[in-house]
Amino acid sequence: MKKIWELFKTFAKIGAFTFGGGYAMLSLLQREIVDKHKWATEEELLDYYAIAQCTPGVIAINTATFVGAKRAGIAGGICATLGVLLPSIVIITVIAAFINHFLEYEIVQHILGGIRVAVAVLIINSVITMSKKSVVDIICAAIAVVSFVLSLVFSVSPILIVIAAGALGLILRRGGAKS
């Protein structure tokens, strides 16, 4: 029961203190799951992110489910998922009740502007951290560059990029290509 409560508390904290969606949560997920609690290695967490991108749902929710299930079985997966969801549900419910009134105030506009900048920095930090562990050879670097160009220049669907990158990685690795 202690494990399950710790999972719930940790993921509730992640859910409560990260703004901007799943990608903004990545650095906090890293800090809590890998650095603080040691529930997964950096490589495992990157695998969770990759799988979470390929499955329906939000990256933070999927990652919470994976980590919770690994740590404490099905009950752990459920409690970690509920932990990451609960703060968002409460916050969204409160905001939805008062959204029209909040947006009228200039101070709220300034706060949201500051939050947007902070979220962008968190996402950039996550990209840099993930890149250090993911881009390990010339094949990975090439896949990363091609994925970036396809996404940024040609607006190719992220779903297609993830599927193609996974298939390409499998083909190149199985074919014996070395860096």
Please report how the helices 22-29 and 59-102 are oriented relative to each other, as an axis angle in degrees rounded to 10.
120
Q: Can you tell me which residue has the tokens 């930090």?
A: 125
CA distance 50 to 30: 14
pLDDT digits 0-9 by tens, 121-152:
888 988 898 888 889 999 899 999 999 999 99
Residues 6 or more apart whose CB falls under 8 angstroms from that of 23 comprise 59, 122, 123, 126
- Quote the pLDDT of residue 177: 54
For the chain, what are the domain ranges? 2-133, 135-179
Instruction: Decide if 81 contacts 68 (C-beta within 8 A).
Output: yes
In this model, does residue 164 exceed pLDDT 60?
Answer: yes
Per the CB < 8 A criterion, the answer to whether 129 and 17 are in contact is no
Q: What per-residue confidence (pLDDT) applies to 175?
A: 66
The answer to which of 18-27, 80-89, 92-101, 164-173 has the lowest mean pLDDT is 18-27
Residue 55 pLDDT: 81
- Residues 107-128: what's their mean pLDDT? 88
Q: What is the pLDDT of residue 20?
A: 66
Instruction: Report residue 89: phi and psi, to 5°.
Output: -60, -45
85 Ramachandran zone, left/alpha/beta (phi>0; psi -120 to 50): alpha
Burial of residue 28 (number of CB atoms within 10 Å: 0-12, 13-18, 19+): middle
- Whether this prediction's pTM lies above 0.95 is answered by no
Res 178 pLDDT > 70 = no
83-93 mean pLDDT: 91
